[in-house]
């Protein structure tokens, strides 16, 4: 749901401490605008602020005794500038923001942040005394309560510890000895068949022949630690295999790596095939005897779902 469709009472917002503005100004992550309602054809201003900051909703509302209400007839008016009058933080500033949230609000779950981003562990994030005192004063519940009572299904879609990939590295065709390769990492780009680059020197994770069949049962560009957000996608039987923005909804992006080393596409009930002369990669009727439909990953983990 779009963050700009949430609103909070202005007075209560400031009683809760507002945004963490100490040293790093987290408030610039939100847009401010008036919540308005149409009353007999006239615009009636309300003393409220529209917020897009999901972290605020998480911590002050759920954990600190607030509640969320669905107001079907409300109207939210946005005031957009023609330019951005501030700099959006990145790099070290963003890292400090994230560490402050982890240290103040996430309790033992902060460790998962450091497992994903080891460089944050020893990063100085400034004085957090005021934020911790605020949490104690509001008698906020702990983050474990939030995860078990509010976001109980979150680990299913966003596991704290990323499950291991089923297979990764190059995907080599048994018949031709050629490898799948992506030239351009944007939606709509076709997967091509090219000469394998392994053995010609060190191949970085961002090379178009480094691919990962992950726990989501989709195939992404990059190694398991550095995957791009574009996935193998096929529309139907006989369609080309192309890249499309990963949506996590399986469907056209769901694949099975089977014991006969075919890459099966349940939605179209077909398998990835290839034409070395045309360098095409496309869907076709599954034929276990066809070498052009047999694919070998550089590395596999047979303990994972979807792997051999």
Q: Does residue 171 carry a pLDDT above 70?
A: yes
User: Average pLDDT of 261-285?
Assistant: 96
Q: How many Å apart are CA 278 and CA 193, to the nearest integer?
A: 8
**Residues 228, 218: contact at Cβ < 8 Å?**
no
pLDDT tens profile 75-124: 777 777 787 776 665 567 778 888 888 899 899 999 999 988 889 999 99
Locus of tokens 């630690």: 225
* Spans of all domains in the chain: 3-157, 167-300
CATH topology of domain 167-300: Trefoil (Acidic Fibroblast Growth Factor, subunit A) (2.80.10)
User: Which of 2.60.120.460, 3.40.50.261, 1.10.8.460, 3.40.50.970 is the CATH number of 3-157?
Assistant: 1.10.8.460
**Residues 306, 255: contact at Cβ < 8 Å?**
yes
Q: How many Å apart are CA 243 and CA 294, to the nearest integer?
A: 20
pLDDT tens profile 61-75: 788 888 778 888 877
User: Average pLDDT of 194-201?
Assistant: 75
Amino acid 82: pLDDT: 80
70: CB partners within 8 A, 6+ apart: none
Q: How many Å apart are CA 138 and CA 117, to the nearest integer?
A: 30
Q: How many Å apart are CA 18 and CA 288, to the nearest integer?
A: 62
Would you say the C-alpha torsion 218, 222, 226, 232 has a positive or negative sign? negative
């Amino acid at each position: 749901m779009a963050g700009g469709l949430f609103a909070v009472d202005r007075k209560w917002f400031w009683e809760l401490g507002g945004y963490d503005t100490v040293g790093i100004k987290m408030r610039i992550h939100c847009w401010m605008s008036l919540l308005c309602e149409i009353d007999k054809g006239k615009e009636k201003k309300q003393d409220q602020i529209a917020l897009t900051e999901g972290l605020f909703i998480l911590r002050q509302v759920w954990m600190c005794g607030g509640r969320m209400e669905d107001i079907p007839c409300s109207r939210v008016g946005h005031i957009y500038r023609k330019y951005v009058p501030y700099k959006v933080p990145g790099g070290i500033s963003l890292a400090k923001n994230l560490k402050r949230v982890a240290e103040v609000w996430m309790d033992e779950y902060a460790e998962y942040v450091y497992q994903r981003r080891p460089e944050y562990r020893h990063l100085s994030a400034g004085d957090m005394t005021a934020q911790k005192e605020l949490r104690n004063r509001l008698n906020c519940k702990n983050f474990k309560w939030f995860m078990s009572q509010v976001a109980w299904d979150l680990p299913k879609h966003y596991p704290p510890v990323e499950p291991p990939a089923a297979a990764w590295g190059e995907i080599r065709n048994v018949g031709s000895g050629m490898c799948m390769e992506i030239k351009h990492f944007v939606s709509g780009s076709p997967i091509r068949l090219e000469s394998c680059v392994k053995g010609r020197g060190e191949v970085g994770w961002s090379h178009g022949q480094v691919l990962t069949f992950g726990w989501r049962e989709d195939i992404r560009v990059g190694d398991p630690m550095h995957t791009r957000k574009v996935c193998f996608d096929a529309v139907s039987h006989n369609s080309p295999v192309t890249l499309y923005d990963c949506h996590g909804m399986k469907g056209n992006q769901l694949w099975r790596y089977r014991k006969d080393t075919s890459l099966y596409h349940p939605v179209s009930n077909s398998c990835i095939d290839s034409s070395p002369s045309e360098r095409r990669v496309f869907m076709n009727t599954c034929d276990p005897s066809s070498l052009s439909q047999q694919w070998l990953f550089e590395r596999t983990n047979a303990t994972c779902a979807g792997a051999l």
